[in-house]
Chains A and B, each alone.
Chain A
Amino acid sequence: MLFIGCLFIGCTESGQKPSQKVVIYTSIYKEVINQLSPSLKKEFPDLEVIWFQGGSETIATKVQAELLGGKTQADLILTSDPLWYFELKSQGHLLKLDTPQMQNIPPEWREKEGYFVSVRTPVMILASNDSSLKLSSIEDLQNPEFKDQLMMPSPLESGTAFLSIALTSQSKGWEYFKRLRANNLIASGGNSVVIQNLKNKDKKIGWVLLENVLAYQKKATGGKSPLYPLYVNAGVIPIPSPMAILKTSANVDQAKRVYNWFLEQTAQKILVENGMYSPVFKELHPEGAPPWKEIESKTISVHFSKLEDLYKERDKIKKEFTNIILR
């Protein structure tokens, strides 16, 4: 008991003293972090950056659990669910900012008071392991020929999946998902689980992140089953993934430096190289993907001002989707 007590007392951290340290909670994939990290170190050699990576919903649960105690260890959060950021803002957990770099973000992807901005734009698309498949819109997924062939990540695990179903339910209604349930749409795990199922030909069509498809195409060599992205009407969903600084951060100045760095060219190029579009440099596009101008007409429109109303429905959306698809 004494041993455990000493270990406890010796190891608890205040998190209050300012230090040359920034803690980032993020849903960005590990291999992207492994590329961002050295550039960040080069830019700020005096700064220690600690990453905690998990799915968007894992990060949200972690932050909520920490906030039960009144504060969180995170200085900066970068995940994929903008609706959660509106919730954090309404609860007074986010820091208001106004930096020159923020002005480079289009207004539709910038919170109007400056509490958070979109730092990257992953895109949800349909993908298939069948090169002969032709779809014109996501409405085609309701066709009986696709019964038992559909899969998507679970919105309870993946922030990108959550925003996709939130926006689609707004444009197509919940009846659309009921028809997909009739076609036995499975929602499970993260984006990579969907890729696995497509790769193994357990499913034919997946609703999945473009960056996962492009990463798989890069790795796949002769003989392996390739995957094909499908850019269909209303089936290209940009996910303007936010970044914010927590009000309880003990390292606000350091966090601001890193915040601004993420909106500059070095970081934005790394994100684009890893299959995402840039909200700052719209002329850049991932290798193997079309320029933004070519697919923009097929996207569902996403505007932060509209999302602000949607955030109040966040729990209701999850519950509705769970009742229709997951149960």
Chain B
Amino acid sequence: MTFFIESLINTLVFSIGVAFFSGLIGLTLAWSTLQFPKIIQQPMVQLLSLPFAFPPFLLAIAWIGLSQSLGFQVYGMLGMIFIFTLTAFVYPFSESYQALSRINKSYEEAARMSGATPKERFLKITLPLIFPPLLNGVLLSYLSALAAFGVPALLGAHTRTSVLTTLLYSEMRMGGEQGMKNAIYLTFALLILASFGFILLNRSQKIQKERKMILVTSRLHSNQNYSKEKLLLIGLFIGVTFWIIISLILPWISLGLQSGHFKDVFENTDFHIALMNSFILCLSSAFVLSIGGFIWVYFFPTKGQLLSKFIFSLPGSIVAILLILFGALYTRFTGLFVPPLILIFLSYVLKFSSISLGRFHQSFSQFDVALDEAAQMQGAYSYERLFKIWLPLMTSVISSIFILVFLQSLNELNMSILLTGPGASTIGTLLFDYHSYAEPEMATTIAFLLTTVAILLGLSLQLKGKKT
């Protein structure tokens, strides 16, 4: 019990620590980025959003290599929080950036003319206005840290820092009936912690929706130049660039330098199989969630969102355990096996469904219902309205969701490790196997290739978003 309490406390420290620092850094970077001219701003925003494409587990591998070369350690709680914040900050950053760039300038102008200092304007005007979206981003960081396994597993072992996800993993590894029972108890503990975050997130999103009119209806968008001092701008530029370097460029280079077995990797049959499986899984889940999500939200606009958000907030290990139990029940009643690739596919669809449903819901709501009603009155059937009116309007959203789900599926590790089976290795599980059991050099080569692809896909997503 004592160790459970210790792991619970570590989990809270880790998740809340990541949420806090992600919020602080995300907000600071969002505000800083808005100080620059548009020509610098756009590339900076794109670069700052790219760490989202970098799997945290690979970031940990990259930083272990970097820290060994530079003569310090990243093991332990501080290292875990630091490494995870390097990707988790993107949530509060993008939410804050969107909100800050839509603030009505006249509020700040009025406060300035009334004699308010920059600090007072920020604390009493700006921060309350952007608080709901910032909280949204912070809660997403909290939930992603709660679900994390790779980073705590890699960085916590050397200092014996256990969190609930690693404790769950080790209880399953203990084997036997008691081990499985303990794993199920821990699943419930994680569910409770995730539920708190989910309830707050839901509430925050409702508030954000209610306040949307205040932020977006004004034509006087903030011009973002709060300060014209050159020195401050240079300092901010250095700060933002430094963060881009440590969260993206340095880890990518570190992986590249540790790689070198490209020929071995490309000639390896296991790599071909894993690549093929990953490609099929990522394409299938992206297809189902983009086209399927589009059709689902059109016909059932209010159904499924709450459930998908709840599943998103669950740690991947819980989703995997539930699917394992489902597979076992299926075998028991039918005598048939569910292929592991199908279970992995289902885990991706379940886990990332909220990305699809949330985005489509948001996109559909931006159009006037009169568009659909006019076509209906002209006699168009629902499938005609869907494909002749809505599909052309939503093409860029569909393709964005396709890339996003593809990327998330490609980076996924937690669920894949637990659900893999004969012939069902993915790039993530192959990488994990090489790193833990056989050939770490092959692992870093695959990691480098994976992150390069993820960064390129992330960049194309940014460019798509720009065009939308």
Contact = CB atoms under 8 A, between A and B. Distances in A.
Interface in A60-93: 60-62, 64-66, 68-71, 73-74, 84
A260 interface: no
Contact of B338 (A4, A8, A16, A154): A8
B175 A157 contact: no
Interface in B245-302: 269-270, 288, 292
Interface stretch (A46-54, A117-125, A231-239): A46-54
A206 interface: no
Given A71-B331, A154-B157, A318-B174, A52 B436 contact: no
Contacts of B367: none
A58 to B, nearest CB: 8
15 contacts: A11-B339, A15-B336, A30-B270, A30-B433, A50-B422, A50-B423, A52-B422, A73-B421, A156-B173, A157-B173, A157-B436, A193-B435, A200-B68, A322-B174, A326-B162
Given A3-B292, A16-B335, A190-B437, A62 B421 contact: yes
Contact of A189 (B157, B174, B329, B346): B157
Interface string A168-212: 000000000000000000101111110110001010000000000
A254 to B, nearest CB: 15
B330 A315 contact: no
Interface stretch (B11-19, B20-28, B176-184): B176-184
Contacts of A99: none
A12 interface: yes
A216 to B, nearest CB: 10
B288 A186 contact: no
Contacts of B436: 55, 157, 189-190, 192-193
B175 A64 contact: yes
Given A52-B421, A55-B437, A186-B158, A70 B174 contact: no
Contacts of B157: 154, 186, 188-189
A92 to B, nearest CB: 16
A12 B340 CA distance: 10
Interface in B154-200: 157-158, 160, 162, 170, 172-176, 178-180
A156 B437 contact: no
Contacts of A68: 324-325, 328, 332
Contacts of B335: 14, 16, 70
Contacts, number: 138
Contacts of A156: 170, 173-174
A73 B422 contact: yes
B336 A188 contact: no
B342 interface: yes
Contacts of A190: 436-438
Interface size range on B against A: 35 or more
Interface residues of A, number: 58
Contacts of B438: 29-31, 190, 192
B336 A14 contact: yes
B337 A315 contact: no
Contacts of A64: 175, 180
A51 B174 CA distance: 24
Contacts of A318: 173-175
Given A4-B349, A69-B327, A189-B436, A12 B423 contact: no
B287 to A, nearest CB: 9
Contact of A196 (B270, B336, B440): B440
Contacts of B176: 314-315
Interface of A: 3-4, 7-8, 11-16, 23, 25, 29-31, 34, 50-55, 57, 60-62, 64-66, 68-71, 73-74, 84, 154, 156-157, 186, 188-193, 195-196, 200, 202, 314-315, 318-319, 322-323, 326-327
B384 interface: no
B439 interface: yes
A59 B113 CA distance: 70
B178 A315 contact: yes
Contacts of A69: 327-332, 337
A71 B437 CA distance: 27
A3 B270 CA distance: 29
A64 B341 CA distance: 19
Nearest to A201: B68
B338 A192 contact: no
B180 A15 contact: no
Contacts of B334: 12
B175 A315 contact: yes
A155 to B, nearest CB: 9
B327 to A, nearest CB: 7
Nearest 3 interchain pairs by C-beta: A69-B331, A68-B328, A188-B157
Given A73-B421, A156-B170, A322-B174, A66 B328 contact: yes
Given A189-B157, A190-B436, A12 B329 contact: no
B3 interface: yes
Nearest to B346: A4
Contacts of A70: 331-332, 335
Contact of B342 (A11, A25, A51, A322): A11
Given A34-B269, A186-B158, A3 B288 contact: yes
Contact of A61 (B173, B339, B349): B173
Contacts of A50: 422-423
Nearest to A181: B160
A274 to B, nearest CB: 11
B337 to A, nearest CB: 5
A8 B270 CA distance: 25
Contact of A315 (B160, B179, B349): B179
A327 B162 contact: yes
